[in-house]
Amino acid sequence: MQAETTSGAVSNLMLANKESRLALAWKTLKRNKHYYILMSPYMILFFLFTVIPVVFSLLLSFFYFNMLEFPRFIGWQNYSRLFLNDDVFMIAVKNTFLFAVITGPISYLACFIFAWIINELSPKVRAFMTLVFYAPSISGNVYFIWLIIFSGDSYGYLNGFLLKTGFILEPIQWLTNAEYILPIIIIVQLWLSLGTSFLAFIAGLQTIDKSLIEAGAVDGIRNRWQELWFITLPSMRPQLLFGAVMQITASFAVADVSIALAGFPSVNYAGHTIVTHLMDYGTIRFEMGYASAIATVLFFIMIGANMLTQKLLRKVGE
C-alpha cells in the first residue's frame, strides 16, 4: 500500500511545475520522516566509515599526500609508478592472485561439499560437525597455533614429527624459507576459511523443499549427483551468490595470516600480498596517495572477480 502511494506521488511529481514539485518532495520526505530517523544512526556511521573512505580513497589515489603537507594533484602518476616502477608490487600481485586462485575456489567448494555431506547426518552429529568445521574461523585469531606447529627448531611439531620418523635429519626453517612460506599460508588460510558462507550453505541446504526432491525422483533423477546438480544447487543459488561474495573478498584480502606467520615484510617478500603492500606504504612510509592507488586497484580487482563469479554461478544447474 505504501509503495502505491509513493509511486503515485512520483508520477504526479513529473507533471507538476517546479514549485509544487519541491513542495511535493518535501511532503513525501515529511511523510516518511520516521523511516529516515530510524535509519539515520546506521546510515550516518555507514557513510562516515565506509562510503566516504571509499570515495576519498579513489580521489586520493590521484594525489601525492604524506599526511603533513597539503595533498598535491599528480594525475595518474601513482598508477604509472605502481605498474611500471614497483617490482615489489608485482610480487604482491602475483602472490595475491596465487592465494585467491587457490584458496578462493578450494575454500568455496570445501564450504559447499562439507555442508552438503554434513546435511545428510543426523541432527546431533550434524550440530557437532558444524561446530568442528566452523570453530577455527570464530576462535579469535588462534592461527598462531600454527606458529608452534611450523616452528623452525626441533620443538616445532612438524619438525619433531619428521625428525622422529626419519624423513629429515635437520629441522627445517619453515617460516623463513621463501619456498615454504606461500604454501604454509595457503594451508592456514584454508583452515580458517570455513566461515560465514559455510554457515549459509548449511542453512540453505536445510530449507530445500523436500517435495522438489520427491518430484525429481518421479521425473527420473536417479542418484545423488543428479539430485545435486538439478535440484540442490539451483535451489541454493541465493546462498551460493552470497557465499561467493564473502569468499572472494576474504581470499583477495589475505594479510593478517601472512603477517602473523611469515612476519612483515616476509623473507624475499615471499608472503607479500597487495594488502601488506598497502599497509607498508600506508602505515609505515605514510605515502597515502600511493597507498590509496594500491587500495583502488585491489577494489577493482575484487569487483571484477565478483562479476565474473556471479556470471559463472548463474549457469549452475542449467
Partner 1 sequence: MKTIAVLRPSRKLNRSFTVSFLLFALLAVFGAFMALPLIYAVNNAFKPLDELFIFPPRFFVSNPTFDNFFDLVALMGNSWVPLSRYIANTVMITVLGTAGHILFASAAAYPLAKYRFPGSKILFSIVVLSLMFSGQVTAIPNYMVMSWLGWINTPASIIVPSLAFPLGLFLMKQFIEQIPDALLEAAKIDGANEYRIYWGIVMPNVKPAWLTLMILQFPALWGTDGGNFIYSENLKTLHYALGQIVLGGIARAGVGAAVALILMVVPITLFIISQSSVIQTMATSGMKE
Tell me which residues in 280-309 interact with partner 1 (CB under 8 A). Answer: 282-283, 288, 291-292, 295-296, 298-299, 302-303, 306
Could you tell me if 106 and 196 are in contact, meaning their C-beta atoms sit under 8 angstroms apart?
Answer: no
C-alpha cell of 101? 586462485
Grid cell 543459488 — which residue?
Answer: 237
Asked, as a colleague might, if the bond just before 105 is cis with ω within 30 of 0, I would say no
Contact residue for partner 1 among 91, 94, 102, 119 (CB under 8 A)? 119
Q: Let me know if 53 is exposed, middle or buried by CB neighbors in 10 A (0-12, 13-18, 19+).
A: middle
Contact residue for partner 1 among 147, 186, 233, 267 (CB under 8 A)? 147
- Give me the amino acid identity at 205: L
Does 227 sit near partner 1 (CB under 8 A)?
Answer: yes
Could you tell me if 58 and 296 are in contact, meaning their C-beta atoms sit under 8 angstroms apart?
Answer: yes
Does 312 sit near partner 1 (CB under 8 A)?
Answer: no
Does 46 sit near partner 1 (CB under 8 A)?
Answer: yes
Rounded Cα–Cα distance for residues 34 and 39 (Å) = 9
Does 279 sit near partner 1 (CB under 8 A)?
Answer: yes
Query: Near partner 1 by CB under 8 A, which window of 77-85, 88-96, 172-180, 215-223?
Result: 215-223
Does 136 sit near partner 1 (CB under 8 A)?
Answer: yes
Rounded Cα–Cα distance for residues 315 and 204 (Å) = 19
Nearest-10 crossing angle of helices 196-207, 237-252: 170
Query: Near partner 1 by CB under 8 A, which window of 75-83, 94-102, 174-182, 250-258?
Result: 250-258
Contact residue for partner 1 among 111, 172, 261, 275 (CB under 8 A)? 275
Which residue number, 203 or 312, has a Cβ lying nearer to partner 1?
Answer: 203
Q: Taking the complex as a whole, how short is the minimal distance between the CB of residue 134 and partner 1, in angstroms?
A: 7
Please, which of residues 64-93 interact with partner 1 by CB under 8 A? none
Q: Taking the complex as a whole, how short is the minimal distance between the CB of residue 318 and partner 1, in angstroms?
A: 18
Query: Near partner 1 by CB under 8 A, which window of 40-48, 91-99, 177-185, 261-269?
Result: 40-48
Sign of the dihedral defined by the CA atoms of residues 264, 267, 271, 275, in that order: positive
Long-range contacts of 8-12 (CB under 8 A, 24+ apart): none
Rounded Cα–Cα distance for residues 122 and 63 (Å) = 59
Grid cell 604509472 — which residue?
Answer: 80
Contact residue for partner 1 among 93, 202, 257, 262 (CB under 8 A)? 202
Does 154 sit near partner 1 (CB under 8 A)?
Answer: yes
Does 311 sit near partner 1 (CB under 8 A)?
Answer: no
Contact residue for partner 1 among 16, 22, 54, 312 (CB under 8 A)? 54
Contact residue for partner 1 among 15, 30, 85, 123 (CB under 8 A)? 123
Q: Concatenate the DSSP letters of all residues of 186-240 into one string.
A: HHHHHHH--SHHHHHHHHHHHHS-HHHHHHHHHTT--SHHHHIIIIIHHHTHHHH
Nearest to 296 by CA among 58, 47, 51: 58
Size of the site for partner 1 (CB under 8 A): 111
Query: Near partner 1 by CB under 8 A, which window of 82-90, 96-104, 136-144, 175-183?
Result: 136-144
Please, which of residues 18-37 interact with partner 1 by CB under 8 A? 25, 28-29, 32, 34-36
Q: Taking the complex as a whole, how short is the minimal distance between the CB of residue 38 and partner 1, in angstroms?
A: 5
Strand (E) or helix (H) holding 73: strand 72-73
Which residue number, 80 or 249, has a Cβ lying nearer to partner 1?
Answer: 249
| Total Cβ atoms within 10 A of residue 163 | 16
Rounded Cα–Cα distance for residues 238 and 246 (Å) = 13
